[in-house]
Copies of this chain bind each other. A is one copy, B any other.
């Protein structure tokens, strides 16, 4: 549909594009301060980026004592699309080159409907943004899916909750439909990139994003980039054993973190508390709604329900136990907790922190913030645009 966009031709052009993306419009003099190029070579590279249609002039800067330097910015025509496919919803956002959200739409959608239906719905949502005049040409798109992905091949691989998606060529299909570069990754990795770009991890090189949703996963960022491991399964922490005995997990092992604490485990335990008479609050919600979720537990905690408080404390302790080990090992600069269960908020956080600070070495926890994500539902779509933008703005 659209012409393939130009790519930077060398590392200097790539660096300039990323600077303009992350810091916004800059004068040529300011760019000269951070790029290791002679003034004349810098001018050549910037002029070339303008020729390629990636950068455009944006007026004159205030004088720094001499001739006023001209300001440049990323082309205002650049459009990047982020698609975040969750277990039960799709989010689609379109951004400018600086990855600022221009429009964001979402709809409920069960990923179990398979790739044909779900991807068509994602494209419909994008069509809606087109209809609002927010996007014509798409220059790149990033896609997150709720399961393991072969990043190299751009497809899900044996994803447990995505029947029909195994080895479906998501990248190829969407790239052909949109006529632009596309990258696919799992939802936790793109959330981590969202935190790198727009969240609390902006200034941190090495950090962990722990997503506690239906399952539990971890995004690992090393030197500002996602670390995927040998076969792309890095961060798969939901099945780390927290106890020798313990509940049986869907994976067949016993004592997995997810079997102790996750959206699914919480719903199971809350239902048990309601049925056994340990929580009148939860019993009432169960009767009204027919099922319980993390939202009900959060409400019960807010109402001072003892059984709910115990569930959250116990869950936080288990997460903290696993995190303590990972922090000893990885010594991150920041840990961000995200996902639906993170909505349990500060009581969960307090319990996690208490275990980690007690169990990890002081050298690793001395300056370690453990915080809740502040991005709410935008981490995924922003991270998806960041994923493809890093690719678009890399030297060929």
With a cutoff of 8 Å between Cβ atoms, the chain B residues found around residue A1 in the complex are: none
Tell me the smallest distance from the CB of A378 to a CB of chain B, in Å: 26
* A377 sits at the interface (CB 8 A): no
A324-B330 Cα distance, complex, nearest whole Å: 15
* A128 sits at the interface (CB 8 A): no
With a cutoff of 8 Å between Cβ atoms, the chain B residues found around residue A328 in the complex are: 233, 236-237, 239-240
Known: A222-B222, A241-B359. A231 touches B364 (CB 8 A): yes
- Is B324's CB under 8 angstroms from A326's CB? no
Q: Chain A binding site: helix, strand, loop or mixed by DSSP?
A: loop
Q: Which residue of B lies closest to A331 (CB)?
A: B229
- Is B325's CB under 8 angstroms from A240's CB? yes
* A234 sits at the interface (CB 8 A): yes
* A206 sits at the interface (CB 8 A): yes
Could you say which interface size class chain A belongs to? 35 or more
Q: Could you give, for residues 363-384 of chain A, a 1 whenever the CB lies within 8 Å of some chain B CB and a 0 otherwise?
A: 1101110000000000000000
A364-B235 Cα distance, complex, nearest whole Å: 10
* A390 sits at the interface (CB 8 A): no
- Is A364's CB under 8 angstroms from B325's CB? no
* A289 sits at the interface (CB 8 A): no
A361-B234 Cα distance, complex, nearest whole Å: 10
* A332 sits at the interface (CB 8 A): yes
- Is B332's CB under 8 angstroms from A229's CB? yes
- Is A333's CB under 8 angstroms from B230's CB? yes
With a cutoff of 8 Å between Cβ atoms, the chain B residues found around residue A367 in the complex are: 230-231
* A227 sits at the interface (CB 8 A): yes
Tell me the smallest distance from the CB of A223 to a CB of chain B, in Å: 8
A241-B395 Cα distance, complex, nearest whole Å: 44
* A157 sits at the interface (CB 8 A): yes
- Is A218's CB under 8 angstroms from B359's CB? no
A232-B366 Cα distance, complex, nearest whole Å: 12
- Is A325's CB under 8 angstroms from B366's CB? no
* A23 sits at the interface (CB 8 A): no
A354-B240 Cα distance, complex, nearest whole Å: 16
* A284 sits at the interface (CB 8 A): no
A326-B240 Cα distance, complex, nearest whole Å: 9
* A271 sits at the interface (CB 8 A): no
With a cutoff of 8 Å between Cβ atoms, the chain B residues found around residue A322 in the complex are: 325
* A228 sits at the interface (CB 8 A): yes
With a cutoff of 8 Å between Cβ atoms, the chain B residues found around residue A332 in the complex are: 229-230
9 intermolecular pairs with C-beta atoms under 8 Å apart: A158-B363, A230-B367, A230-B368, A233-B364, A234-B330, A234-B331, A241-B325, A241-B359, A325-B325
